[in-house]
């Protein structure tokens, strides 16, 4: 990377972009992220689970009404649940806040390592990679986050993402006082 004199813009000459969020220069971006991220995950699981549970209840009742024929839809419930979770994460991370509902409630935001906001494919891939790594490497996924300054988990490192405190990155402006 080099800084060009004309136009005062960064020019990419084949090098790697620098990290946008340095934990040593801005430790407030990462303070408490690991704990709040765990709570955000629990909130997101509730948000994802409610429509899935309602879907199962609907299929059960539909099966009763159709004298058992509607219960054939149960084979679609699990794949639909997976699709719903992937779309939820992709749409939320790809949205304007770059965060799921749980992350927003915990004041967190997902960014790329060079500072760009999230997008749909990144959010969907983030969710899939999280579930795959948790399935095979449960303790290791969490331990990785304890031993790096950015509190990145294993799937964050692989995808090049970082979760930061949203309020520190974009502080709310103070209202003008009247005298």
Q: Name the pTM for this structure.
A: 0.81
1-50 confidence digits (pLDDT tens)? 444 444 455 555 566 677 788 888 888 999 999 999 999 999 999 999 99
State the pLDDT confidence band at 129, using cuts at 50, 70 and 90. Answer: very high
CA distances 25 to 20, 30, 79, Å, are 11, 11, 44
44-97 confidence digits (pLDDT tens)? 999 999 999 999 999 999 999 999 999 999 999 999 999 999 999 999 999 999
- Residue 129 backbone class (left: φ over 0; alpha: ψ -120 to 50; beta: rest): alpha
CA 64 to chain centre: 38
Place of tokens 């813009």: 9
Query: In terms of DSSP H, where are the helices of 66-107?
Result: 74-93, 101-105
- Buried b / exposed e along 108-127 (16+ C-beta atoms within 10 A): bbbbbbeeebbebebbbbbb
Question: Which sign, positive or negative, has the C-alpha torsion 145, 92, 51, 128?
Answer: negative
Q: Is the pLDDT of residue 170 over 80?
A: no
Token couple for 117: 């906001």
């Amino acid at each position: 990377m080099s800084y060009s004199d004309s136009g005062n813009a960064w020019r990419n000459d084949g090098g790697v972009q620098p990290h946008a969020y340095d934990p040593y220069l801005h430790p407030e971006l990462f303070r408490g992220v690991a704990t709040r991220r765990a709570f955000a995950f629990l909130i997101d699981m509730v948000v994802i689970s409610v429509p899935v549970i309602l879907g199962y209840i609907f299929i059960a009742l539909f099966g009763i009404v159709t004298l058992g024929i509607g219960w054939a839809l149960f084979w679609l419930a699990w794949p639909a649940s997976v699709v719903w979770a992937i779309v939820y994460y992709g749409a939320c991370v790809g949205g304007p806040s770059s965060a799921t509902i749980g992350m927003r409630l915990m004041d967190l935001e997902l960014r790329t390592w060079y500072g760009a906001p999230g997008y749909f494919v990144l959010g969907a891939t983030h969710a899939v990679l999280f579930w795959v790594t948790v399935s095979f490497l449960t303790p290791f996924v969490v331990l990785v986050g304890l031993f790096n300054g950015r509190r990145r988990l294993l799937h964050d490192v692989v995808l090049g993402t970082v979760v930061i405190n949203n309020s520190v990155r974009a502080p709310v402006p103070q209202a003008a006082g009247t005298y």
